[in-house]
Structure 1
């Protein structure tokens, strides 16, 4: 007996992080969640699985129009023609309280009730599936505690949308514990809600398949579902299957040995080339470059994210790879020393360093600076707000980080005139 377990598909959810840029792969971003789901349906047909389980958050909330629902009906009809039934559970994003539009689904789709747990028996396979959909998005009760006892002699599969012991990255809906799930006596728990893959083995096999398609830089790496095979002896083999159409990646570049922006740009170019050599997949990559290290270039890099991004785009163009897109360049460098060398110079630059250092603790200066900077916040164009990371600090009135970062930059630029 073989089945596919998927969750957190979020059909038509927008991918974020690239669309603000003119060079973004707009068409890929717009259809990514659908394309990933189409890949999953094709995989299910090719593998001739016995059924598919969707453990919540098929949708991303109410549809903008009926096209989202029509697309899903079409894909389910493909599975129907292949005689593959689908067992669908509603999570917080597609709870009854979130959805105002509905369409009749093909006969091969069975939906778990939201008022109480329901069970679907597949006697020809010796399987029974238990589950309970969300009625309200903010479902905080322990739904697993209401599930029925395991049916003797059958493979029992629990389908549940849950934060599982309060996963910190996700809202703690339908919380329960691993021990509680193991104690239920089910053979397999098909979970959803947490977007990262995880599996636990014990009295039960408990699996989060992760979401089907990464939607932003916080969801890096391969994404997909799991293909589960149950042997005649009841042993569960779980295999990850990847169906995503665009993959997010963080590229950390240490520029400790660089002394200026040009050297930093060249170092990033080398790391991008190494990344492409290491990645055998042909799937497109959306990359965030994180520049770090204690470096002599720290001062010159201050506020230069936009310029550095253009340099990195030039490196990508030189590589001639149309499967690599740059999401963002983030600067996270440190000054190579604490300014002691400048203080020992006993000249104007040393005096400037001392003035800037004392300004961080001067309440009168800080208030005057905050007032001046606040005046330009509302006039700044959107592009500037997104490229300068200190706007939120200025808005909150916390200028400590800004002053600490600008000090080596200002001194570095003035020192060029020595």
Structure 2
């Protein structure tokens, strides 16, 4: 038999990080989670799977209107006509306490009760699924201890929305340990909540499929579900199904060998082309971070907006239907260490001392804030992503601003000397 295990679909959840930019793919951002789920249903039908398991956070919270539920019912209807039952568990985002709207689901969909753990079975197959949905979003008790005993002569699947042993990026809901999961004696654990793919082997096979569609730059790389094949109650394969329809990527560009801004731009362009060598059909939203000790550091100082424009030109040449730029960050360092400028360079030495004193001079910082605040207030908000130092001025964080500006300024002057 074959089944698909998915989780963390977050239907109709917005994709964040691109909408502020004029070339953002607005329609794809709005429909990405739906399009990914439709692709998952397509794959289930193509593979002729015996059933599907959804391990929590199908929804991103209570629906804004009924269209989210109607869309899900439509996709379940497609699976019903294909003879595919679906076993659904609700997690923290779609816990019973969070959902104010509901619709009756097609009868091929069974869902786990939030009142207590229960066992559901697949008609015509010796398969038992054990699980419990969340009643409250903040479910911080260990649910596994109450899960039923494995059913003999059946393939047992535990369905659980959990932080497991405490993934720091995720709230610690329904915590438990890998050892506790193995101790239940189930052949497979279908987990949800953690958005990255992970797998453990042993007495049980334990899998987080990751979320179906990345929703921001923190969810980079390929996304999807898993296809599990079983023979004689033994798992013979676990295949990742990669069906995300818009992918987030973070390019780290080493500018160590670059001498000027133009060299950095060309290096970024080459990396963007290479990025599309894999899964070229999937559009990308990309953040670029430039790093390294480089001769170009002084030229890059304060020119994030120009570098962004250069990268946007590279993106435009590749095609905005395939690639969008989320952000460009410059985190380079100077080849010439401002702390070790030759002492004979009296002007540089004096400037270095002035900048060091300025960062801890309250009168100077007060004066600087008074001078810069009106400028920052008049600056259009849409410049904020392009000039991060503006936020330092708005927050009156002038010491950090001086600390960040001083090394670049000294390097820029020294490299031009």
TM range (shorter): over 0.9
Answering whether residue 305 of structure 2 is matched by residue 312 of structure 1, we say: no
* Equivalence for 1:249: 249
Match of 2:329 in 1: 330
How many residues are treated as equivalent by the alignment?
417
Written as runs of structure 1 = structure 2, the 5 A alignment for 1:303-382 is 303-320=302-319, 322-339=321-338, 342-370=341-369, 372-374=371-373, 377-382=376-381
Match of 2:192 in 1: 192
Q: In the aligned structure 2, how far is the partner of 1:199 from the partner of 1:413?
A: 49
Report the TM-score when normalising by structure 1.
0.94
What is the SS of the residue equivalent to 1:292?
A: strand
In structure 1, what is the Cα distance between the partners aligned to 2:294 and 2:400?
A: 18
* Aligned match of 2:293: 294
Q: Could you tell me whether the CA contact under 8 Å between 2:225 and 2:241 is conserved in 1?
A: yes
Aligned-partner Cα distance in 2 for 1:363–1:34: 54
- 1:139–1:392 Cα change, 3 Å: farther
**1:174 CA drift (Å):** 0.5
1:283 corresponds to 2:282: yes
**Per-residue deviation at 1:31?**
0.5
1:5–1:53 contact (8 Å) kept in structure 2: yes
Please give the root-mean-square deviation of Cα atoms over the aligned residues, in Å.
2.1
TM-superposed deviation, 1:317: 2.4
Q: How does 1:17-416 map to 2 (within 5 A)?
A: 17-122=17-122, 124-276=124-276, 278-320=277-319, 322-339=321-338, 342-370=341-369, 372-374=371-373, 377-391=376-390, 393-394=392-393, 397-411=396-410
**CA displacement, residues 73-118 of structure 1 (integer Å, 9 cap, x when unaligned):** 1000000111111011001110111110111110111111001112
Q: Which runs of 5+ in 1 are unaligned?
A: none
Alpha-carbon contact 2:23-2:320 (below 8 Å) kept: no
Offset at residue 38 of structure 1 (A): 0.1
Alpha-carbon separation, structure 2, partners of 1:373 and 1:111: 58
Give the Cα separation in 2 of the matches to 1:123 and 1:38. 25
Shift of 1:28: 1.1
Distance 1:383 1:65 in 2: 31
What is the CA–CA distance in structure 1 between the aligned matches of 2:339 and 2:354, rounded to whole Å?
A: 14
In 1, Cα distance between the equivalents of 2:165 and 2:384? 38
**Shift of residue 368, structure 1, vs aligned partner:** 3.7
1: distance between equivalents of 2:9 and 2:284?
Answer: 20
Q: Distance in 1 between matches of 2:362 and 2:209?
A: 52
TM-score by length of 2: 0.94
C-alpha change, 1:233 and 1:110, in structure 2 (3 Å) is closer
CA 1:357–1:106 in structure 2 vs 1: closer, same or farther (change >3 Å)?
same
Q: Give the gaps of 5 or more residues in structure 2.
A: none
Distance in structure 2 (CA, Å) of the matches to 1:320 and 1:86: 39
List per-residue Cα deviations over 1:5-46 (Å, max 9, x = no partner): 000000011111111111111111111000000000011111
Larger CA deviation: 227-236 vs 245-254? 227-236
Residues 336 and 411 in structure 2, CA contact (< 8 A), matched pair in contact too: no
Q: Could you tell me how far apart the structure 2 residues matched to 1:25 and 1:141 are?
A: 41
Residues 308 and 361 of structure 1, relative CA distance in 2, 3 Å threshold:
same
Deviations 1:329-349 (A, max 9, x none): 111111212225645343434
